[in-house]
Amino acid sequence: MNGPAVLNHKPKVLVTRRWPAAVEHELSERFDVVFNTQDRPLTPADFRDALGKFDAILPTVTDGMGPEALGVAKAQTRLLANYGVGFSHIDPKAARDLDLTVTNTPDVLSECTADLAMTLMLMVARRAGEGERELRAGAWTGWRPTHLVGSKVSGKTLGIIGFGRIGQAMAKRAHHGFGMKILVQNRSPVRQEVLDAYGATQVPTVEDLLPECDFVSLHCPGGPANRHLINSSRLNLMKPDAFLINTARGEVIDEHALGQALMFDCIGGAALDVFDGEPRIAPVLLHCDNLVMLPHLGSATRETREAMGRRVLDNITDFFEGREPRDKVL
């Protein structure tokens, strides 16, 4: 295996989507950078071509880097420095076959993603999306006692599936800000002192968690292992007035099953920031009034998007100066 080495020239780097201007400027000063000025998703053929021309490629979640995109005999590229914490869009076997190092950007987006998850939870519980649509349509007839009555959030039980940095940031907001009881399901045991910080209790399985919760928030990784983790049978375990929130990855939910559960009032509602196959939205979801949808805004603050870019910059600098990047995942 060829490890990182110090180069005697500026490494050639491809940035697959537009980044905040301040970070693009910093990249340009330190590397020989090509930007995707059209800001459109690249095709598998684009990536196969790029693998023969660039020392590093800086993809995002919108870039499907599976066997087709990485299907070359050998590559000049040695580093995929992902802009984002999730990297399920990068096929690990195909990356290893090409001896590619893969990095991500953890930590820096946890707070803002948890803020967005709280936003979604409050919106769906208090029917904010329905209310705004009614106002914009000119259909509001004035205050009345039975109009758009929603659900209280404070003091309710929140189930968190996936208790990493973002899940813990969500628990902090919900428990300390809204007095919520926290239940946790995680693929590995969570240290007791971490649970105690949020008054949380860990349960063994998703099936143990779902029937006990008024709200369920997903913060688990995507990828094949968690595809359709929330399916029709698990939706049936939820309380009929419970709410589902997803800021993780779209593929974690079977969207057809969710659409059916919403249309037949099997659950109280749902709020999604991510979608399976985005930007395509499953048609069944578009007809669900008790669903709040946002266009993948979890990390969409200026501070976070710049911090993500600088984290990528740190990773590629470490790599090409002969150090192991701190955010190496493959």
Instruction: Specify the amino acid at residue 302.
Output: R
147 part of the active site:
no
Is residue 255 classed as helix, strand or coil in its secondary structure? helix
Q: Nearest 10 degrees: CA dihedral of 36, 61, 99, 49?
A: -30
Side-chain half-sphere CA neighbours of 269 within 13 A: 19
Residue with tokens 């007809």: 287
- Spatial contact of 264 and 284, defined as CB atoms under 8 Å apart: no
Side-chain half-sphere CA neighbours of 297 within 13 A: 13
CA end-to-end distance (rounded Å), the chain: 13
Q: Which of 126, 175, 296, 310 is catalytic?
A: 296
132 part of the active site:
no
Is residue 55 classed as helix, strand or coil in its secondary structure? coil
| Gap between the Cα atoms of 234 and 138, Å rounded | 38
Please report the DSSP string for 266-302 in residue order: SSSEEEES--TTTTS--GGGGG-TTEEE-SS-TT-SH
- Spatial contact of 120 and 292, defined as CB atoms under 8 Å apart: yes
Q: Which of 68, 134, 212, 278 is catalytic?
A: 278
191 part of the active site:
no
- Spatial contact of 202 and 182, defined as CB atoms under 8 Å apart: no
Q: Which of 249, 255, 305, 311 is catalytic?
A: 249
Known catalytic residues are 249, 278, 296
